[in-house]
Structure formats: structure tokens, C-alpha cells
Amino acid sequence: MQWGSLEQFLAMGGYGFYVWGSYVVCAGVIGAEILALRQRRRAALAEARRVTSTTGRPA
């Protein structure tokens, strides 16, 4: 391991802005996709349950 301290790790040899700018945005958009997927699943389930509850039970 070449990092002597947390400061060195965050500095990334002077490329901190580019490296962390890449990783933070990557994590952010993946996190946003996961939240959007959770929301879409919930909405689809709620709509399916609504349809089920308004459909008459088979005799």
C-alpha cells in the first residue's frame, strides 16, 4: 500500500479532483438508479394490487 495517510489517499497524487469526481458521480447515479427501481417496483405492486382488489373473485 502506497498511502501514508488519509490526506495522501484523498489527494490521489494530485489527481484527487478527477479520480473522486469520477467515483462520486458513478456511485451517485447508480444509487439513483437503485432508488428509482425501488420506487418503480412499489408503484407497479400497488397498481397490481389495486387491479386485483377491484376484480371480482372467480365463483
Partner 1 sequence: MSSVTTRPGFSLFRYAAPNVFYPIAGRMVPLFAVLAAVLAAVGLYIGFFMAPTDAQQGDSYRIIYIHVPSAWMAMFLYVTMAFWAGVGLVFNTRLSSMMAQAIAPTGALMAFISLWTGALWGRPTWGAYWVWDARLTSTLILLFLYLGFIALQAAIDDKRRADKAGAVLALVGAINVPIIYFSVKWWNTLHQGASVKPGSSSMADIMLTGMLLMVFAFWTYAIAAVLVRLRAIILERERRAQWVIDAGRQGTL
Q: Contact positions toward partner 1, by CB under 8 A?
A: 1-3, 9, 12-15, 17-19, 21-23, 25-26, 29-30, 33-34, 37, 40-41, 43-45, 47-49, 51-52, 55, 58
Q: How far is the CB of 5 from partner 1 (least distance, A)?
A: 14
Q: How far is the CB of 24 from partner 1 (least distance, A)?
A: 10
Instruction: Report the alpha-carbon distance of residue 32 to residue 12 in Å, rounded.
Output: 26
Q: Between 5 and 52, name the residue whose CB sits nearer to partner 1.
A: 52
CA 58 distance to own-chain centroid: 41
DSSP string, 29-40: HHHHHHHHHHHH
Instruction: Report the alpha-carbon distance of residue 48 to residue 12 in Å, rounded.
Output: 50
